């Protein structure tokens, strides 16, 4: 497995890659959800490229960015074990030579759900994914359904800009108790971790969105939204964990 930090060095390597390239973009702190993306890419492509880059432009909250978990050594071990051939660890100045003057902005769906609560978040996501697609030049790129709004916006961006990449959705991986895997789960207090599965359980509740939101609030979750759109119910909640809060998102097929 080759680890590359410089984009110039990567361009030279990319030129010599034959066959299909699968790409798994991440911000690190890899868990079994990422492993599922990597495994599918390894199974479907000749070469799998993993990027680990904590993208500052998608954080609208500086504290959230500062506290984003970093487990690089473990991430690299996992990637190697799963058969990744290339890991990219780019730096800010190479990803943003323009200082983020140029952006990819979607003007409708990105302003709803998570976008309504995290202004600018999806502009940061779409901009970095566009850059990474241009750098990696993958045939297929893998995204988890846990971030369903992100997945939809990226798929639509690929269509809108005629990008030559297949966006492959991968089902959400859950703990046995139903909690969707997320890098943020590591920051849950023990008490919050015990309570967190109530969130996904209530998203599956047949009552209407308002009733579910009310019940989550009664159970101590701070609810950003519970909203059914396009056949899915989306939710986001914040859980107080002593010194800090942890935000959880999830979505399920609406019955």
Reduce the DSSP state of residue 232 to 3 states and report it: strand
Q: Quick one: 129 or 188, whose CB is closer to ligand PAF? A: 129
Q: Quick one: 4 or 58, whose CB is closer to ligand PAF? A: 58
Least CB distance to ligand PAF at residue 18 (A)? 26
Binder to ligand PAF among 55, 85, 152, 172 (CB under 6 A)? 55
Judged by CB under 6 A, does residue 41 bind ligand PAF? no
Q: Quick one: 117 or 214, whose CB is closer to ligand PAF? A: 117
Judged by CB under 6 A, does residue 25 bind ligand PAF? yes
With b for 16 or more beta-carbon neighbours within 10 A and e for fewer, the 214-240 pattern comes to ebbeeeebebbbbbbbeebbbbbbebe
Does 244 qualify as catalytic in the annotation? Answer: no
Reduce the DSSP state of residue 28 to 3 states and report it: coil
DSSP letters, 65-118, are: HHT----HHHHHHHHHHHT--EEE---HHHH-TTTT-S----SSGGGSHHHHHS
Binding map of ligand PAF across residues 123-162, x = CB under 6 A, - = no contact: --x--xx-----------------x--x------------
Tell me the C-alpha distance between 111 and 151, whole Å: 15
Least CB distance to ligand PAF at residue 98 (A)? 17
How far apart, in Å, are the Cα atoms of 172 and each of 34, 164, 166, 196? 10, 25, 19, 16
Q: Quick one: 143 or 221, whose CB is closer to ligand PAF? A: 143
- Crossing angle for the helix pair 121-136 and 7-15, nearest 10 degrees? 50
Least CB distance to ligand PAF at residue 121 (A)? 9
Return the biggest CA–CA distance within the chain: 58
Give the binding range for ligand PAF (CB under 6 A) out of 107-115, 121-129, 229-237, 239-247: 121-129
Which amino acids are annotated catalytic?
A: 34
Binding site for ligand PAF (CB under 6 A): 25-27, 55, 58, 125, 128-129, 147, 150
């Amino acid at each position: 497995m080759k680890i590359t930090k410089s984009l110039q060095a990567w361009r030279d390597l990319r030129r010599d890659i034959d066959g299909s390239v699968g790409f798994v973009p991440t911000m690190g702190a890899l868990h079994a959800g990422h492993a599922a993306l990597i495994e599918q890419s390894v199974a479907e492509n000749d070469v799998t490229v993993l990027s680990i880059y904590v993208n500052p432009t998608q954080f609208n909250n500086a504290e959230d960015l500062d506290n984003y978990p970093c487990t690089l050594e473990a991430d690299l071990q996992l990637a190697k074990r799963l058969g990744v051939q290339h890991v990219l660890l780019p730096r800010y100045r190479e990803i943003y030579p323009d200082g983020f003057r140029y952006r990819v902005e979607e003007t409708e769906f990105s302003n709803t759900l998570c976008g309504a609560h995290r202004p600018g978040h999806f502009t940061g996501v779409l901009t970095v994914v566009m850059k990474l697609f241009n750098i990696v030049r993958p045939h297929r790129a893998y995204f988890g359904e846990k971030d369903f709004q992100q997945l939809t916006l990226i798929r639509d961006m690929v269509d809108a800009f005629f990008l030559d990449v297949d966006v492959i959705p991968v089902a959400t991986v859950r703990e046995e108790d139903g909690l969707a895997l997320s890098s943020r789960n590591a920051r849950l207090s023990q008490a919050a971790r015990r309570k967190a599965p109530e969130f996904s359980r209530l998203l599956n509740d047949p009552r209407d969105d308002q009733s579910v939101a009310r019940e989550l609030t009664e159970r101590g979750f701070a609810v950003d939204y519970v909203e059914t759109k396009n056949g899915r119910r989306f939710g986001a909640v914040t859980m107080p964990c002593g010194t800090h809060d942890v935000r959880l998102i999830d979505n399920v097929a609406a019955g």
